[in-house]
Structures are given as C-alpha cells and as structure tokens.
Amino acid sequence: MPWICGGVSRCFRAKDPAGGGRLCETITTVNPKLEGSVFLSACRRQQVPYTPVWFMRQAGRSLPEYRAARRRTAMVEACTKPDLITELTLQPLRRYQVDAAILFSDIVVPLRAAGIGIDIRPGVGPVVDKPIRADSDLRRLRALDPGDLPYVAEAVKTLVGELGATPLIGFAGGPFTLASYLVDGGPSKNFDKTKALMYGNPPLWNALLRRLADLTITFLRVQVDAGASAVQLFDSWVGVVSPEDYRRSVLPHSRRVFEALAGSGVPRLHFGVGTGELLGMMGEAGADVVGVDWRVPLDEAVRRVEPGKALQGNLDPAILLAPWDVIEQRAVRVLDAGRTAEGHVFNLGHGVLPETDPDVLARLAELVHTTSARPPG
C-alpha cells in the first residue's frame, strides 16, 4: 500500500507489461482531516512549515489532572476503561500545542490480555507472577486475538473523532523489552536473566520473541484498524545488548513487526534508551522514524542511520527541571542539529519526568514552533 498523504500523485520508472517503463499512482487520504498534519509530513520526510513536537509520556504523572483522574484507579485497570483512556489521552492537548496525541495505555496491556499474570506496582513497575524461563513456561503465553482488546479499539475510535486534525499515535512494547519483563520478572538494572536466556537457550529465546512479535503485531493492528495514524514501537531496554547480539537475536523479530505494519500506510516509529550503538540497525528493522535518546546528538545520529529515515528527539528530560534559559538554549541546539535530518520530529530523549512543570512543557512546545518556523515557499 502506498503512503497515505493527501492526494499527491507520484511517478516512478518500472518495467510494466505495456513496456512504457513509467507508472503513476495517486496517494489518497483515509482521513481528510489529517491531510495537513505537520507531524505526519515530517515522519514522511516531506516539507513542513515548522518542526512538529510531541512528548513521550505527555499524558502522565506530571499533570495534576492526570493524578486526580487516576486517584482511585490502578494503572492496569485504567488501561481497560475506554472513557478514562480517552480522557487521559486528551488531557495534555488541552495544555500543550503539540502536533500529535499518543494513546494512553501501557506495554503490559497485550501481555495481560494474552493470559500473563502481570501487574504494575506503584513505585516499582511491571511485575510478573511467574517468569518465563523454561520451555514449559512458554505455554502460558497464548496467542492474542483482536477480540481480547475491545476497550482499546473503542477508545481509539472515540479519540479519532475527538482529535479531528490531530494525529493519534498508537504504540506497543518491542519484543526484547516485553521479554525482559517476562524473563527477569520485573524491572532490572541490567536484565541479566534475560540476557542469560538469550545467550544460553537460543531456541527458547527465539520462540519467545516470535510469540511476542505476533502479540505486538495484533496489538498494533487493533489500534491502526480503529484509526491510529502512526505507531511507535518502544523497545525501551534493548540498549543493554551489544550490536552483535541485537543483529542476531533481536533485529529479526523487530523487523517482523514493522513488516507486518508496512501495508497499513501509517508511519512507523522506533525508540529505545541507550541505543546509540544500535541506531543504524533500528532503522534497518523497518522504521520510518528512528527515535534518538539524549546521549547522541541528532547530527551524529544522521551519520549512523541509513538514508531515507526521519529522526525523532532528543532533549534530555532532566533539562526541563533547569532554569528556562538553559532549557531554551538546549532546545534550540536540538532543533539546529535536527535540521541535518531528512525529517525531524522534536521530542524528549525519553519520557516526561513526574516532577516536570506542565507550564514549562507548554512553553517548550511554543518555542519549538516559533524557532523552527520556515518562511512560506
């Protein structure tokens, strides 16, 4: 399927049966309201009037209204309530002039829907009842059916109607990151048990990641089919592996996820933390946009990622706790480096910290737009 970007015609050389050697196609828009989306255009490396911006974890603990809405609702429960998903997704857009919304959910949602006993403990993170470390354990992770996620589809459909001309980003956890929680049993500094399984039992490792890739594909397709106009794969902790191990033991499974979404026509984004040495391969996996954390300048990331990719990032979230003159200086530096990329979406190098002042985020979004504005024509 061609890119969905608003009634643009393009031609290319090809060997066709008629022998003309020139084929044309018209790329049409599924949602006409999104035709002028700066975010989607930047993801597709098209010309934009200014650099688009959104923030990872923009719907989260930094907002007092978020804390109020979730006061009596556990995280995993909140992710199954369409009305609450909708409200929490929309909250940041009432404060910030961001160019995209991201679905309020969590990477554990498809795992729970597939029968895994996993909870999100306050102050800890995802914790698994029974870790997967043997062949017999894998049987507990059943295949995921779209019907297992009705609340996700309902929330996305509602949000698409509410958002109008603002794109909605769907997301899922990458196969490695999901495996890291399932094998280690919860958050870990180095995910030693996960890496030991990857090194010591490749057949089980690949069987686990194949199943997790299938689960991730289903989860993302539910979101896209319901109207999400972009998807981001968060392989948050894959930066703990070496380039050699990434290529052998992770890349094939991430590639399967991106290939499965290729026909959807939506931009596919890929992000991980501490992945400076993996950026090129993360692009090879099939992403249209490679997310860069704060450790690697964007102009250096351009050299590491193959041509034909946009970049996203990459202001250090901790900078937002500094005085405004520091924030402004660092943000402008990110924008300057981002101009070397074929397309740039401004974001943080990881999620918004809970201590962040929402007014600072609003001011930052305005700064990005005004500083990066290009003259028409």
The pLDDT assigned to 30 comes to 56
Whether 61 is catalytic: yes
Query: What is the structure's pLDDT at 187?
Result: 87
| pLDDT score for 375 | 79
For the question of residue 333 being annotated catalytic, the response is no
Indicate if 181 belongs to the active site: yes
Which pLDDT belongs to residue 23? 38
Q: pLDDT at position 32, please? A: 83
- Catalytic site residue from 66, 96, 151, 181: 181
Residue of 106, 225, 299, 316 with catalytic role: 106
For residue 19, what are the contacts with CB-CB under 8 A and spacing of at least 6? none
pLDDT at 123: 83
For residue 265, the one-letter residue type is G
**CA dist., res. 15 & res. 315, Å (int):** 46
Task: Render each residue's pLDDT in the chain as its tens digit; 377 residues.
Answer: 233 333 333 333 333 333 444 333 333 345 788 989 999 999 999 999 999 999 999 998 899 999 999 998 999 999 999 999 999 999 999 999 999 999 999 999 999 999 999 999 888 889 999 999 999 999 999 999 999 999 999 999 999 999 999 999 999 999 999 999 999 998 888 999 999 999 999 999 999 999 999 999 999 999 999 999 999 999 999 999 999 999 999 999 999 999 999 999 999 999 999 999 999 999 999 999 999 999 999 999 999 999 999 999 999 999 999 999 999 999 999 999 999 999 999 999 999 999 999 999 999 999 999 999 987 76
In the set 70, 133, 221, 268, the catalytic residue is 70
CA distance 167 to 37: 7
Bridge partners of 10?
25
Examine the residue annotation and report whether 70 is marked as an active-site residue of this protein: yes
pTM: 0.90
Strand partners, 344: 311
